[in-house]
Amino acid sequence: MRQELVARQVDEQIAVRFPVGQRLRVLDVGMGQGTQALRLARAGHSVTGLESDAGMLKAARDALTTEPEGIRERVRFLEGDGRETGVHFLPGSFDVVLCHGVLMYVTERDAMLAGLARMLAPGGLLSLLVRNADALAMRPGLAGDWPATLAAFDTDSYTNRLGLDVRADHLDALTATLAGIAAPLHTWYGVRVFTDLVGNDQELPPAQELDQILAAEDRAGRTDPYRRVAALLHLCGVRG
């Protein structure tokens, strides 16, 4: 669900920012298993994936081996830390930089974002996916965990589905940071408004129902007040 919604939103922003058919230089920082990286490579773009977790990197490389040669030629996967993009790449090397599900693990968030912004060419797109600190009480509240719900109002920390204690981010704070690093916020979406309690191991519903769920999530994710209580925020900044 998350991957599909974010993919649609990324494609929408690419269509707004760049001419139809332009082959873009894409950097996916913390790419995980390479879902978005491979999808964009299939769309014709040149994609570099950066991942610090050896297991995730292996999964992405294994997935790449199943792709046609023409797609494999457009992809390179590197082991590395998103906080050190300047070690691997020159400033202005990319048209699109993705950083999805990474910032919650990073202590020096603003420094990392500044480094990512430097990787963008003028007019480039910075795509961030973060946990929404303004809605941390929603998940435990909907689950009926009232002590956790009350505690969530006064913190930006939470325990993720991997059991790790991590940090959520506030929309206002990230908006200010993006303005300060010359990649001001262009638009933003909510992700997982209605489906946050659905487990990762739950089977997909029939196609017609799935289409309806995606349509509802897509509309809520771009409509106030619904998007403000989404579990995740997808922010899109544009390099000045």
- Residuewise pLDDT in 10s, the chain (240 residues): 899 999 999 999 999 999 999 999 999 999 999 999 999 999 999 999 999 999 999 999 999 999 999 999 999 999 999 999 999 999 999 999 999 999 999 999 999 999 999 999 999 999 999 999 999 999 999 999 999 999 999 999 998 888 889 999 999 999 999 999 999 999 999 999 999 998 878 888 999 999 999 999 999 999 999 999 999 999 999 998
User: Token digits for 30?
Assistant: 């913390």
CB atoms < 10 A from the CB of 17, how many? 17
Counting Cβ atoms within 10 Å, is residue 147 exposed (0-12), middle (13-18) or buried (19+)? exposed
CB atoms < 10 A from the CB of 110, how many? 16
As a whole number of angstroms, the distance between CA 168 and CA 209 comes to 31
As a whole number of angstroms, the distance between CA 71 and CA 42 comes to 6
